């Protein structure tokens, strides 16, 4: 048998030359990975690993995610640098605490930047000048109460938090964008500057433009905010997000 070593005809191009974003998603999340890939521009790439989680979703089960997050972080592109590492769960960030989640991310996976859906949505609402906010979630009342209390502690005037009383990530992912638009129209109150649609499991980014057209005000969703914030952190133009993603990511 003849063994040969063949020379490469061309040098290998750099991997994700404009940015590497690492996503740590819940094992039950069917949406965020596909959603974020759709929103990132060429040469900015997403790399994902999964964290142990099982339905039903609640504050206690979301706190238990912390036990597996270090393992998932270590196994996310080991040996390669990341520009941004993301913990991809809004309610999970609330359950563990935003500061604690960011600290845990920094301890288990080196990256130039770290963010969460809570961190990203707060930055997005601030960039839009929205202080009085209506919130739509798929969550149960206890999760909504914790979310409302935390966002209010960060200086927002939450006028209302409207929930769908769900605790199954698979059922959340199955909601059609048209259903989210209808729920968003009911959730928005007259005095609000913007609507925040919470949950990375929802396909809410597909409803942004229809909601903004119906409401006449900005709409921020968890996954849309993550994409916008990650691109902002690495200095990539948010106007380069493919397709239309509302007032947060206007086309250049």
Whether residue 67 sits in one domain with residue 128:
no
Instruction: Assess if residue 248 is contained within a domain.
Output: no
Q: CATH number, domain at 181?
A: 3.40.50.1860
**Residue 25 host element (H or E):** strand 19-26
Q: CATH number, domain at 99?
A: 3.40.50.12500
Whether residue 196 sits in one domain with residue 173:
yes
Residue percentage of the chain with pLDDT more than 70: 97
* Omega of the bond leading into 56 within 30 degrees of 0 (cis): yes
Instruction: Assess if residue 110 is contained within a domain.
Output: yes
Residue 150 confidence (pLDDT) above 90: yes
pLDDT, position 244: 62
Residue 248, token pair as written in the block: 């947060």
d(CA 25, CA 140): 20
Whether residue 230 sits in one domain with residue 194:
no
Instruction: Assess if residue 131 is contained within a domain.
Output: yes
Instruction: Assess if residue 1 is contained within a domain.
Output: no
d(CA 64, CA 139): 18
Q: pLDDT category, 110, cuts 50, 70, 90? A: confident
pLDDT tens per residue, range 196-208: 999 999 999 999 9
Whether residue 113 sits in one domain with residue 127:
no
Phi, psi of 34 (to 5 degrees): -65, -40
Whether residue 147 sits in one domain with residue 192:
yes
Instruction: Assess if residue 144 is contained within a domain.
Output: yes
Whether residue 134 sits in one domain with residue 105:
no
Whether residue 162 sits in one domain with residue 46:
no
Full residue range of the structural domain in which residue 86 is found: 19-119+225-240
Question: How many domains is the chain partitioned into structurally?
Answer: 2
d(CA 141, CA 138): 10
Instruction: Assess if residue 212 is contained within a domain.
Output: yes
Whether residue 36 sits in one domain with residue 127:
no
Whether residue 200 sits in one domain with residue 180:
yes
Instruction: Assess if residue 249 is contained within a domain.
Output: no
Lowest mean pLDDT among 31-45, 56-70, 168-182, 231-245: 231-245
pLDDT, position 7: 83
Q: Which distant-in-sequence residues (6+ apart) come within 8 Å of 85 by Cβ? A: 21, 22, 24, 73, 76, 105, 109, 111, 113, 114, 115
Whether residue 109 sits in one domain with residue 185:
no
Instruction: Assess if residue 6 is contained within a domain.
Output: no
pLDDT tens per residue, range 158-208: 999 999 999 999 999 999 999 999 999 999 999 999 999 999 999 999 999
Whether residue 148 sits in one domain with residue 133:
yes
Lowest mean pLDDT among 50-59, 78-87, 92-101, 105-114: 105-114
Whether residue 229 sits in one domain with residue 217:
no
């Amino acid at each position: 048998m003849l063994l040969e070593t063949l020379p490469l005809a061309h040098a290998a191009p750099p991997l994700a030359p404009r940015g590497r974003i690492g996503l740590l998603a819940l094992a039950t999340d069917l949406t965020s990975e596909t959603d974020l890939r759709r929103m990132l521009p060429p040469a900015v790439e997403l790399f994902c690993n999964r964290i142990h989680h099982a339905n039903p979703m609640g504050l206690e089960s979301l706190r238990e995610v912390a036990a597996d997050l270090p393992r998932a972080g270590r196994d996310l592109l080991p040996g390669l640098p990341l520009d941004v590492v993301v913990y991809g769960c809004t309610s999970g960030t609330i359950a563990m605490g935003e500061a604690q989640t960011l600290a845990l991310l920094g301890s288990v996976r080196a990256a130039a930047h770290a963010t969460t859906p809570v961190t990203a949505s707060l930055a997005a609402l601030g960039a839009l000048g929205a202080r009085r906010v209506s919130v739509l979630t798929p969550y149960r009342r206890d999760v909504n109460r914790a979310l409302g209390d935390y966002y209010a502690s960060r200086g927002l005037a939450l006028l209302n938090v409207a929930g769908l009383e769900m605790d199954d990530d698979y059922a959340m992912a199955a909601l059609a964008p048209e259903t989210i638009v209808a729920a968003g129209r009911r959730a928005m109150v007259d005095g609000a500057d913007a609507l925040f649609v919470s949950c990375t499991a929802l396909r809410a980014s597909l409803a942004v433009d229809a909601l903004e057209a119906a409401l006449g005000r900005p709409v921020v969703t968890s996954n849309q905010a993550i994409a916008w914030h990650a691109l902002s952190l690495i200095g990539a133009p948010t106007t380069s997000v493919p397709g239309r993603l509302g007032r947060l990511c206007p086309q250049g």
